[in-house]
Chain A
């Protein structure tokens, strides 16, 4: 059985298929788009009972068996819980997108990236191997980048996308280092095996590895001080914001922490990092949210706050904390995604999502208003919603700690949680009231120009209803869905009995008090906004990031001006002479080289003499050529004579390649030199002797490289192995080709990747407009030189050749 791999493959393939279908043509595609994720959701739902009873599905595929690398997938409680969220919400998002990007020519492209993201995200939570997880992790980063930059005509979108990519991939690089350290310490990259490894938590290298892993998790999940990329990511189309930047991708870091929780949560380093970073992020996000009048920005900060809460909860090992963790993930996905989707519908219908221009939308958009109200109730934690259950568990955890041993931590945590809940409630009340119920907007009112159809609003309504009433039936799924996930985070089976109603406990009164205060914050929202407007913006994580990036660019510019500021010829001389020096050292100071060189020489045959003569004549012609065009052609002849050598020494593949390369090189050189007029005569000046010296040294360099290569065989040659095994292992009698595409396929893969990047670079840099601008600059420089006294004029024609 390879059901897990097939599920991932289905989602991967859905992308290109949808891209080809051009789904913008009809709303019928909304149903078709929802099909692949719905199928995977259904399959996962069918596995719930089996997983709950303790049987985990494991699949392992060899990747590079000789290196011990493999792709490992595992469906345990945590993977299934996250997987159901990813594909379940993914189903709604896929349906919604067709309406949101109505008539957009690039809708197919959006679906392509969306499905690849979905597959990567699902692969990430199903991974049972650190390196597999890393590959999927980067898959989500790249697709996130593409989705944020979807409206690439807006500068803000591209900048936000780049910022998100740089921050998350920089963190991911640190994480990779941490993974490698952890894997080497444990002797395996398999996550289950690492977690089961006794003594891994106390190993000397573990703190270093953990800090590196934290960097990856915190950047991905927008924890302080890396939270600034998330608001910038709101330039993405709303389905992507709702899906990636609220419900799923930003929880990848938290998922990783939850995965590692069983083995490392004993460490003080673990506790304090997560508790402090998570707690601070939670408060920061919550108090910032109310400042923003852009609906999506407000929701983004609220998301940051919840991500902080989840991180903080993972610091603890208590039952309440882990229950609160799992319930919060579920509740948050079920209220935040609908809020985002509704903001998208408002944006679509009104042409703006700025609260200052909106008012009284409840009449125009009744279904959306219902959705938002239900989501607000859940987000503010009003009974009997899922959000209420999550908040109860959160407060219960800290109250429990406070009552028992940990007075300080419990009290601090309780204060953080209460403060954040007050401000989050205030923010979401503000959003709902201002957009949907108040009479008059602050600014000029936006007009409804496009009333949404019912199906556009349906996915959000479905999710929000689940979130609003789901807690009432918590008993029906807690054992199959929640308990296995909680057990996986805890690392041991846990008895879970969630109850919506605990009686009139102190926590319940606290919860009600929080609601009252949230209303107070809501009523005083004008005061808070005026207050925030006075906070200077210069000192923020974003400003620090921007300053760092600027500094890197400036440094790069300075270094480049110093080492590459001069014309081409002097720069090349430096590079070539450095190479010559190295080989000179190798030839004359490696012992025995020269004597062995003389021994191995043979007297050339007549044919070889003839080719030598031809090559030398062509070379002399090149050097003595009057114009560049003839020099280029003569150079081509030199190359062709080298081809003759390949032929007489029986290397037809090399000969063919060399011949073609020579032909194309002549073409390219002619085209390049067209800019400096190929038929102009080559100027002779006083620097010519120096150039001659460099050229001659370079000739010896080439000669010496071949000789050293020929003489200094360090180990046993691998060539006989290739020749013997080519037909048997590689199924080909052309050894050169078998080496290229089979024996050393990895190398070739790297090379064609470089070629592809070179093609992109050439495509972008050599646009004729760009070349034209360059030429104009050269001409301007020439004119400047020409206007100077007479001797400078003769220099100008030559200098252009260096550029």
Chain B
């Protein structure tokens, strides 16, 4: 049985941490943050889910998405690089700037690349956490069974 208070923490904290991660990602180009950090933070948030709900449940929920997420991240990163060809070469940074209600917003291929980094880091981090937790769960289940039989 997983602890009830851990579930409560998971329910409140995990979405919050993911929100913070998104903020860190968005401001990353100008202020501390960025794709790598945001990716690690999301992985840490999902570890809370693993701890509270168990690896098996988490695997059912997120498992099928993890490896595709890694691939998608690489794809996004490469596309960000390829877009640069129209600006003068592979990985040439290209930016658009526009105003949204008086605030200057800028978007560029380096940020798209950063998104790719984030996706890869999330996918990799959660894959490892989940795999090892599953193994640990299997071990403890095994021990419990072994313990029952004299």
Residues of chain A whose beta carbon lies under 8 Å from any beta carbon of chain B: 61-66, 71, 652-653, 656-657, 660-661, 663-664, 667-668, 671-672, 674-675, 729-734, 736-738, 740-742, 745-746, 748-749, 752-753, 755-756, 758-760, 762-763, 766-768, 771-772, 775
Q: Which residue of B lies closest to A729 (CB)?
A: B93
Contact between B132 and A766, CB atoms less than 8 A apart? yes
- Docked complex Cα distance between A671 and B138 (Å): 12
Which residues of B are found within 8 Å of A736, using beta-carbon distances?
Answer: 32, 34
Cα A749 to Cα B90 in complex, Å, equals: 12
User: Residues of B at under 8 Å CB distance from A?
Assistant: 24, 28-37, 40-41, 43-44, 47, 66-67, 70-71, 73-74, 77-78, 81, 85, 88-91, 93, 95, 106, 108, 110-111, 113-114, 116-117, 120-121, 123-125, 127-129, 131-140, 142
How far apart are the CA atoms of A758 and B28 in the complex, in Å? 25
Pairs A–B under 8 Å by Cβ, sample size 10:
A61-B85, A62-B89, A64-B90, A65-B88, A668-B128, A736-B32, A740-B36, A756-B74, A763-B127, A772-B142
Closest 5 CB pairs of A and B: A732-B29, A671-B132, A766-B131, A652-B32, A759-B124
- What's the least CB distance linking A2 to chain B, in Å? 10
CB neighbours of B120 from chain A (8 A): 752, 755-756, 759
Residues of A near B24 (CB, < 8 A) are 656
B138 & A772 in contact (Cβ 8 Å cutoff): yes
Q: Is the Cβ of B89 less than 8 Å from the Cβ of A63?
A: yes
The interface residues of chain B lying within 8 Å CB-to-CB of A671 are 129, 132-133, 135-136
Which residues of A have CB within 8 Å of B43? 664
Residue with the highest number of chain A CB atoms closer than 10 Å, among B40, B43, B116: B40
The smallest C-beta distance from A769 to any residue of chain B, in angstroms, reads 8
B91 touches A738 (CB 8 A): no
Q: How distant is B73 from chain A, measured CB to nearest CB, in Å?
A: 7
CA distance A289 to B28 in the complex (A): 63
Bound together, the chains give a CA A526 to CA B148 distance in angstroms of: 68
Contact A62 B88 (CB under 8 A): yes
Known A-B contacts A732-B110, A745-B110; A668 and B93 likewise in contact (beta carbons under 8 Å) = no
Inter-subunit contact B93/A731 (CB<8 Å): yes
Q: Are B34 and A759 in contact (CB under 8 A)?
A: no
A675 adjacent to B91 (CB under 8 Å)? no
A-B contact count (CB 8 A): 174
With contacts A65-B88, A745-B110, A749-B77 taken as known, whether A668 is within 8 angstroms of B33 at the C-beta atoms is: no
CB proximity of B57 to chain A, nearest CB, Å: 15
Which of B44, B67, B78, B128 touches A766 (beta carbons < 8 Å)? Answer: B128
Residues of the B chain whose Cβ atoms lie less than 8 Å from the Cβ of A71: 85
Are B70 and A759 touching (Cβ within 8 A)?
A: yes
Contact of A653 with B37 in the complex, beta carbons under 8 Å: yes
CB–CB B121/A771 < 8 A: no
Known: A742-B93, A756-B120, A768-B138. A653 touches B32 (CB 8 A): yes
A734–B106 contact, CB under 8 A? no
In the complex, besides A65-B88, A756-B120, A762-B124, 6 extra interface pairs with C-beta distance below 8 angstroms are A64-B89, A664-B129, A675-B135, A737-B33, A756-B74, A766-B134
User: How many Å from the CB of A69 to the closest CB on chain B?
Assistant: 8
Quick check: A741 and B110 within 8 Å, CB to CB? Answer: yes
- Residues on B with C-beta less than 8 A from A766 are 128, 131-132, 134-135
Inter-subunit contact A660/B127 (CB<8 Å)? no
Residue contact B134 to A768, C-beta cutoff 8 Å: yes
| CB-based contact A730/B74 at 8 Å | no
Known: A741-B117, A753-B74, A758-B124. A656 touches B35 (CB 8 A): no
Q: Are A657 and B132 in contact (CB under 8 A)?
A: no
Cβ of B70 to closest chain A Cβ, rounded Å: 5
A133 to chain B, nearest CB (A): 17
Known contacts A753-B74, A762-B128; A730/B110 CB under 8 A: yes
Closest partner residue, chain A, to B35 (CB atom): A741
How many whole Å from A743's CB to the nearest CB in chain B? 9
| Residue on A nearest B67 in the bound complex, by CB | A763
- Determine the chain A residues whose CB is within 8 A of the CB of B136 once the complex forms: 671, 674-675
CB contacts (< 8 Å) of A737 on chain B: these are 28-29, 33-34, 114
User: Taking A737-B33, A753-B74, A755-B120 as contacts, is the C-beta distance between A746 and B132 under 8 angstroms?
Assistant: no
Of B29, B33, B44, B70, which one neighbours A738 at CB under 8 angstroms? B29
How many Å from the CB of A364 to the closest CB on chain B? 43
Q: Please tell me if the beta carbons of B131 and A731 are within 8 angstroms of each other in the complex.
A: no
Judging by beta carbons under 8 Å apart, are B139 and A755 in contact?
A: no
CA distance A496 to B74 in the complex (A): 50
Chain A contacts of B106 at CB under 8 A? Answer: 731
Taking A664-B44, A667-B47 as contacts, is the C-beta distance between A756 and B129 under 8 angstroms? no
Chain B residues with CB under 8 A of A62: 85, 88-89
Report the bound CA distance from A737 to B33 in whole Å: 8
CB neighbours (8 Å) of B81 from chain A are 745, 749
- Pairwise interchain contact A674-B77, C-beta atoms closer than 8 A: no
Q: Which of A65, A657, A762 is the one whose CB lies under 8 Å from B89?
A: A65
**Residues on the B chain within 8 Å of A740, using CB:** 34-36, 114, 117
Q: Is the Cβ of A657 less than 8 Å from the Cβ of B124?
A: no
